[in-house]
Structure 1
Amino acid sequence: MPESGLSTSQPFAARRKLLTACAIAGLFGGPGIWLLQVIVSEVLSATACYGFSAPRPAPLWNGFNMWIFAISIVAALVAALCAGLAWYGFKLARSGKRADEAHPHRHEALRSANQLHTDDALRVRFIALCSALVGTGFLVGVIFVWLAPLFVGPCGVWY
């Protein structure tokens, strides 16, 4: 019974896994932590700053500002880590040389191994660049959400 391509060990498998992890960190880690920061901060703000029908003059909890600050610090650190991993993946994708031979698929049978290698490297670099840009963009978003209570106040209206 022939082995599938997924179960065979390839020399570049560890590098591919690292590039995949870096891309996932940038594409999903940054946006995910930003979304989580916004959801948690908004829920806490709604609970602490608003009653049933009217806003409260002061937050319900004494340490409310500290909680919002701590949530924002943790979110900024995680988002910075995700963006850093994404940029590391982009740097790795730009400098990397694959050691394997390209295996042409049916629809790519007329392409040379060098063309397949070049196309694959360009795809990997494009995904790595997108990941780095998305991760950095959401890091900026996390920082803006962090700074908003400083300018508006913890129970101020943001719009």
Structure 2
Amino acid sequence: MGPLMIVFGMLGAAAAWVMQTETGQTLAAQGCYPHRAALPAPQWSWLMPVLQAMSVMALLVGVAGVWVAWRSWRVTRDARPDPAPAISETTAGRTRFLAMAGLLLSLLFAVGLVATGLAVVLVSPCSAWR
């Protein structure tokens, strides 16, 4: 596994979640509260389909990040460093650690992507939170 794949495994799902939440909240805020006045429904008819499509795309990127992280972990889990390696030869342990961290982070953010996607489907962007 190359270093870019390991980085994608660590940060792909997190980046997808950040993009989904930030873009979705920005669009919903502009579509439902245009001049600091709450609207009963979004002013744009395309808002809900766009938010749902963004959620699906973010989930796909997140699942890809989980898959890459899992694959990186599977490739590196059997790699063992020498008992007394030179300082420049300790990459097997580092790579294994990064692959495991990527797997845990990707799984965590994949759960966040599912929760955020469910919120888009179940809650209207113009609903009052009181």
The TM tier, using the shorter chain, reads 0.7 to 0.9
Distance 2:47 2:29 in 1: 12
Matched, 1:72 2:43: no
Q: How many residues align?
A: 128
Q: Is the 8 A contact 1:49 1:155 kept in 2?
A: yes
**Structure 2 residue aligned with 1:130:** 101
Matched, 1:92 2:65: no
Tell me the amino acid that sits aligned with residue 139 of structure 1: A
Q: Give the CA deviation at 1:121.
A: 2.8
**Structure 2 residue aligned with 1:151:** 122
Distance 1:158 1:90 in 2: 42
1:107-118 paired onto structure 2 within 5 Å:
114-116=83-85
Distance 2:70 2:127 in 1: 36
What TM-score, normalized to structure 1? 0.71
1:11-22 paired onto structure 2 within 5 Å:
18-22=1-5
Q: Give the CA deviation at 1:89.
A: 0.2
Structure 2: gaps (5+ residues)? none
What TM-score, normalized to structure 2? 0.85
Q: CA RMSD in A?
A: 2.3
Distance 1:158 1:132, change over 3 A: farther
Larger radius of gyration: 1
**Structure 1 residue aligned with 2:25:** 42
Q: Is the 8 A contact 1:22 1:88 kept in 2?
A: no
Identity of aligned residues (%): 28
Q: Give the CA deviation at 1:19.
A: 4.1
Distance 1:96 1:126 in 2: 11
Distance 2:42 2:6 in 1: 40
